[in-house]
Structure 1
Amino acid sequence: MIVPAPTSALRALSHRSFLLFFIGVSIATTGQFMQSLAVPFYMNEVTDSNAWVGASAFAVLIPSLFMTPVAGIWSDRISRKAILFGSFFTQLACSVAFLVLYTSDLLTPWLILGLQVVVGVASGFQWAPTQAMTAQLVPPEDLLPAVRFVSLSFTAGRALGPALAGLTLRFWGPGPAFAVTIAGFVLGLAFMVPIRLRSSEPVEQEPFLLQFRHGLEYVRRRPAMRLAMVTSFMVACVGAVFAFALVASVADDVVSFGDASLGWLTATFGFGSLVVGLYVTRHGDRHLRSRVEMAAVGVYAVGVLLVGFSPWVAIGLLGYFVFGAAHMAHGVTMNSALQVQVDEQYRGRVMSVWLMSVLSGLPIGSLIGGFLGDLVSMRFVLLLYGGLLAVFWAITVVRSNGFASLDLGSD
C-alpha cells in the first residue's frame, strides 16, 4: 500500500464531490447530535432518573453497534452512497416522529426507547460508509487531509450538535431541537445527490460471517489497529460518555447553576473541540500521531477528573473545555491512523470495527454510569471513570511505547 505524501490541507476541498460530501455530512451530523442530547434531556425531565437516561442511550447505541459490521461489509460490496442515503432517510423519518409525538404530548419513555432502537439501527448504516467513502472522493495524494476533514465533520458534529442543543433546550425546549435535526438530514440528503464516487477495487463476494471474520483477523494481525480499537473503546466508555449520554445528569447533579447548566457544559465542550479541530486540520502534519494521541488520552482523563473533583462551576466548565479539546484530537488521530494504514479492500470493514469499539463503549459506560449515579452519585462516577482512564493511559504509554505504532504508514 502506498502512503500519500503530505499535501496542502485545503486542497482536498478543491474536489467538488468531496466538498459537497463534507458539507452535507457536517450539517447532518450536527443536527443528528442535537437530537442525541434532546432525547436524554427530555427523558431526564420526564423521569428524573439517571437509569432511564442511561437506558435511552443504550437503546440507540446497541442496535447501532450490531448493525455497524453489516454496514462495513456492505460498504465493501455495494454503493456506499446508497447505504448512506438509506441511513439518512430512515433517521429523518424518526426525527419527524419525535417532533410530532412531542408536540402532541404523546412522547412517553417507552416510545422514546422504541424510536431510539430504530434510530440506532439506521445510524449503524451511517458511519462505516461515511468513513470509507473518503477514498473514493479524492485522489490518493489528497487522502490524508481529506480524512482529517471527515474526522473534523464527525467529531465536530458530535461536539457542536450537543452544544447547540444545550442552548436550544435552555431557551426553547426539545421541539426546536428535533426540528433542526429534521432540517439537517434534509440538507444532508440534498448535498449528497450530486456526489460522484471514483471506482474502487471489487471485493470477493464471500459469505457474510466469513467476510467479517477476515476483517477482524486483518485488524488482529496489526498492532496499531488493535491499539486504536482498545483505546477508542476506553475513551468512549469512561470519557466521551460525559459529553453525550450522561451530560444531562452531570448538569443536574454536579456542575449545576440553574437551567443554563446543560447549555454551558455542551457549549464549552464544543468550543474546545472546535479550537483543536481547526488546528489539527491545518497543521496535523507537524506532529506525530503517537504524540498527539498520548497527549489526548492523558488530557482527557485530567478533564474528567477536574469536573469530578471541583466544587466550583468555573473549574467544571474548564474540565469540559479540556476534554472537549482532547476528544477532537483523539478522534482525528484515530481516524487518520487507520485510514492511512488500511488496504482499500478492507476499508469498510476496518472502519466498522473501529466504530464498533466506540459504539460499544458508549452504551456500556452510560448504562453502568447511570446506575452508579443513582446508587452513589454522579460525582463518584466522574472520579471513577477519570481514574480508570488515567490508569489505562499510564499502562498504554509503558506497554505500547507511547502509542508509537500509530505512526506507521503501511504494514
Structure 2
Amino acid sequence: MSTAVSDTASVGDVLRNFNFSVYITTAFVSNAGTFMQGVGVPFVMYELTKSNTWVGASVFAVMIPSLLMGPIVGPLADRRDRKVILLWSSVVQLIAATALWVLAINDALTPWRIISCLVVAGFGAGFQNATAHALVPLLVPQNQLMAAIRLNSVNFNVARVIGPVAGSLVLSHWGYRSTFALNALSFVVVIGGLLVTRPRQIVYAGAHEAWLRAFKTSIDYVRSRQSMRQLMLFSFMLSVFGASVWQLTAGLVAEDYHASESGIGYLIASFGVGASLCGFLLLARGHRFRRSRMTLTGVSCYALGALIAVATSHIEVGLIGFAVMGAAHSLGGVASTSTLQTQVSEEFRGRVLALFIMSSFAGIPLGSIAGGRLGDLFGLRPTLASYAVALTLYAVYGIVRLDRLRLFDKS
C-alpha cells in the first residue's frame, strides 16, 4: 500500500539534506553535459547526411536501448542497491561519451559510428533513469518528498537551459567535438558525487522471483489501477507528439527558420527557459494546484506551443512557441511524476517507474523518427502542426472520457 505524503516542506528544508544536495548538484552537471552533447549530435548528423530521418534515428538510438532495458532495470532497482546501479550506469555512459569524442577529434565520425556510440550510451542511460527516480525517496524524509520531486524537476529544466546555451556557444566557438568532451567530463562529476552520497538503507525484495515474472507482476499492478493506466497513456502521448518535437530542431532551424546552427541551442534553451520558469512557479505554489488540472493544462499548452512554433518562418516566433512547450513539459512532468511517486507502493517503485519511463522512451523515438520521415516528405511545419492536433484530441479525450484525470489527485 502507498502512504499519504504531506506537502509542507520548503525548498530550504530539502536542500539542507547533504545527500540530496550532492545528488541534485551532480545531476545538474550531468544533465547540462548531456544537453550540450544534444546540440552537437543533431548538428553533426545533419551536416553528414542532410537528412531529418537520420537526426530522428540518432534519438531512436539512445531511447530504444533504454526502452529494452526496462524489464531488467525495474526488478533490479527493487532488488539491488540503487546507488551501485547508478554508479555502473554512469561508467558505461562515460565510456560511450569518450568514444564519441575520440572519434570526433580523429575525424572518424560516420552516421553509423555515431549511432553505435549512442546505442551504448542508451544502454547505460537505461539503467539510470528509473533507478535515479527511485533513489530520490531514499535521500529525503517522507514529508519532504513532494518538494524534492518538484526541485528535481526544476533542476533538470534549468540544466535544459544552461546545457543548450552553453552547447551552442561551444559549438560556435570550439566546434561539436568540445560538446562531446564536456559531456564525458560531466559523468566524472556524477561518479564522484555518487561515491560520497549515503542514501537511506532499505530492505530490498528477495530475488526468489524470476526477472521477467517480477516485471510481469508490475504490469499486473499497473493494469489493476486505473490512475496508473492513465499515467502510462499520458506519458506515451506527450512523448510521441510533444517531447519528440524539440529533437527535430536541427531540421527546423535549417529548413524553415533558415538560421545558423546556434539556433538549435537557442530553441532548446528557450524550451528550457519556459520549463524552468514554470518549475519555479510550481516550487512556490505547486501544492495549491490539482495534478489533474496541471496535466491537462500541460497537454493543451504543448499543442499551443507547437502551433506557435510553426506559424511562421521567423525563429523569434519559434522561440516563443518552444518556451510555451517547455512550460507545458514542466507542468505535465511534475504532475505525472508526483502522482506516480505518491501512489505507488515502495515494493513496486522501481518496476513501475521503469514502466513509466518505458512509455516515454517508446514515444520519443517513435515521434522523432516518424516526424523526421514525414518532415522529409511533407515538411516539418505541417508535420508538427499535425502533432499539435493529436495532442488537442487527447486533451479532449481526457476531459470527456477520463473524467478530467481526477484520479491523479488522489494520494
Deviations for 1:299-322, whole angstroms, at most 9, x for unmatched residues? 011001111222333222110111
Q: Does 1:88 align with 2:82?
A: no
Return the alpha-carbon distance in structure 1 between the equivalents of residues 47 and 28 of structure 2.
29
How far off its partner does 1:398 sit? 1.3
Give matches, 1:345-364, under 5 Å: 345-364=347-366
Give matches, 1:6-405, under 5 Å: 6-10=7-11, 11-158=13-160, 160-205=162-207, 206-243=209-246, 245-405=247-407
How far off its partner does 1:54 sit? 1.2
Return the alpha-carbon distance in structure 1 between the equivalents of residues 392 and 191 of structure 2.
41
Please say if residues 58 and 366 of structure 1, whose CA atoms lie closer than 8 Å, have aligned partners that are also in contact.
yes
TM-score, L = length of structure 1: 0.95
How far off its partner does 1:330 sit? 1.3
Return the alpha-carbon distance in structure 2 between the equivalents of residues 154 and 194 of structure 1.
21
Please say if residues 306 and 325 of structure 2, whose CA atoms lie closer than 8 Å, have aligned partners that are also in contact.
yes
- How many residue pairs get aligned? The number is 408
Please say if residues 164 and 266 of structure 2, whose CA atoms lie closer than 8 Å, have aligned partners that are also in contact.
no
Q: In terms of mean alpha carbon deviation, does 132-141 or 30-39 score higher? A: 30-39
How far off its partner does 1:156 sit? 4.1
* Residue of structure 2 equivalent to 1:2: 3
Return the alpha-carbon distance in structure 2 between the equivalents of residues 33 and 263 of structure 1.
9
Return the alpha-carbon distance in structure 1 between the equivalents of residues 390 and 291 of structure 2.
23
How far off its partner does 1:158 sit? 4.5
| Structure 1, gaps ≥5 residues long | none
How far off its partner does 1:36 sit? 2.7
Q: In terms of mean alpha carbon deviation, does 174-183 or 128-137 score higher? A: 174-183
Please say if residues 201 and 344 of structure 1, whose CA atoms lie closer than 8 Å, have aligned partners that are also in contact.
no
Please say if residues 151 and 335 of structure 1, whose CA atoms lie closer than 8 Å, have aligned partners that are also in contact.
no
One-letter amino acid of the structure 2 residue matched with residue 232 of structure 1: S
Return the alpha-carbon distance in structure 2 between the equivalents of residues 258 and 35 of structure 1.
17
CA-atom RMSD in angstroms: 1.5
Q: In terms of mean alpha carbon deviation, does 15-24 or 356-365 score higher? A: 15-24
Return the alpha-carbon distance in structure 2 between the equivalents of residues 170 and 295 of structure 1.
36
Return the alpha-carbon distance in structure 2 between the equivalents of residues 94 and 403 of structure 1.
40
SS of match in other structure, 1:197: coil
> In structure 2, do the counterparts of structure 1 residues 233 and 155 end up closer, same or farther at CA, with 3 Å as the change threshold?
farther
Please say if residues 160 and 269 of structure 2, whose CA atoms lie closer than 8 Å, have aligned partners that are also in contact.
no
> In structure 2, do the counterparts of structure 1 residues 167 and 272 end up closer, same or farther at CA, with 3 Å as the change threshold?
farther
Please say if residues 72 and 351 of structure 1, whose CA atoms lie closer than 8 Å, have aligned partners that are also in contact.
yes
| Structure 2, gaps ≥5 residues long | none
Deviations for 1:322-354, whole angstroms, at most 9, x for unmatched residues? 101111121111111100111101100111111
Please say if residues 253 and 264 of structure 2, whose CA atoms lie closer than 8 Å, have aligned partners that are also in contact.
yes
Deviations for 1:50-95, whole angstroms, at most 9, x for unmatched residues? 1111111111111111113311111000010011001111111111
Return the alpha-carbon distance in structure 2 between the equivalents of residues 4 and 251 of structure 1.
44
Deviations for 1:347-397, whole angstroms, at most 9, x for unmatched residues? 001111110011000110111111111111111211111111111111112
Return the alpha-carbon distance in structure 2 between the equivalents of residues 292 and 145 of structure 1.
16
Please say if residues 250 and 261 of structure 2, whose CA atoms lie closer than 8 Å, have aligned partners that are also in contact.
no
Return the alpha-carbon distance in structure 2 between the equivalents of residues 157 and 260 of structure 1.
17
SS of match in other structure, 1:5: coil
Return the alpha-carbon distance in structure 2 between the equivalents of residues 400 and 198 of structure 1.
37
How far off its partner does 1:287 sit? 0.9
Return the alpha-carbon distance in structure 1 between the equivalents of residues 213 and 125 of structure 2.
24
Return the alpha-carbon distance in structure 1 between the equivalents of residues 176 and 167 of structure 2.
8
